[in-house]
Amino acid sequence: MTQATHTPDQLAQEFVAFAVQAGVLRFGEFKTKAGRLSPYFFNAGLFDDGAKLGALAKFYAQRLIASGLEFDMIFGPAYKGITLAAALSIELARLGHNKPFAYNRKEAKNHGEGGTLVGAPVKGRVLIIDDVISAGTSVRESIAMIKAAGATPCGVTIALDRQEKAAENGVDLPHSAVQYVTQQLQMPVIAIAGLADLLQYLRSADDSSVTAFAEAVQAYRDKYGV
């Protein structure tokens, strides 16, 4: 796959720069869930203090508001989605868009209010939030829970779209996990940034220790990209 001309997306560039500075986006050699050796690794669990999480929520909120997607509430699949849903809800309220949020437990609770869903009643048009989509499993499970509650899943928002082929039992598929969600599950996916944005950043960064990885990331995209 050859690199297409990519017009810089200012918000995406700012997000990638922030993720690198925060140590959330790292370069080297990392094994992915699909068993591939990736030259970069994005670990949203490292948005681990108030300042970083607040900044992340701002990026999500700006991208969502710009997208024009209409939704009534936010759903965060356990575990990473719980923190993301809460942070986004706070930021949207700060911007004048107060939205309720809910999340699921991994294990059903059989006392108190019981059940697997926590937070606001799941109803109306529900936006699912996560860090990335690796295989689409979490999205499928979230859609099932939202529909079981009588609500309508209306979209998914993620921080980074890896824009690479999904894999099943070690075999590369012709589509990415995000494409699977958009095409097969008929669900729009709104990402703050994608691999194309990361490549753009690597080519224009001032830090030579970062730009040194541009070739490896491009080679990875040539091999696995969609």
Residues with a catalytic annotation lie at 109, 111
First to last CA, the chain: 8
Alpha carbon distance 133, 178 (integer Å): 6
Tokens of 56: 């992340």
Tokens of 16: 């990638």
Assign 1 to helix, strand or coil: coil
- Tell which residue, 203, 205, 198, has the closest CA to residue 225: 198
Alpha carbon distance 128, 153 (integer Å): 7
Assign 52 to helix, strand or coil: helix
Q: Which residues of 31-43 are buried (b: 16+ CB within 10 A; e: fewer)?
A: eeebeeebbbebb
Alpha carbon distance 41, 37 (integer Å): 10
Tokens of 73: 């509430």
Strand partners, 75: 102, 128
Supply the angle between the helices 214-224 and 195-204 in degrees, to the nearest 10: 160
Alpha carbon distance 107, 48 (integer Å): 24
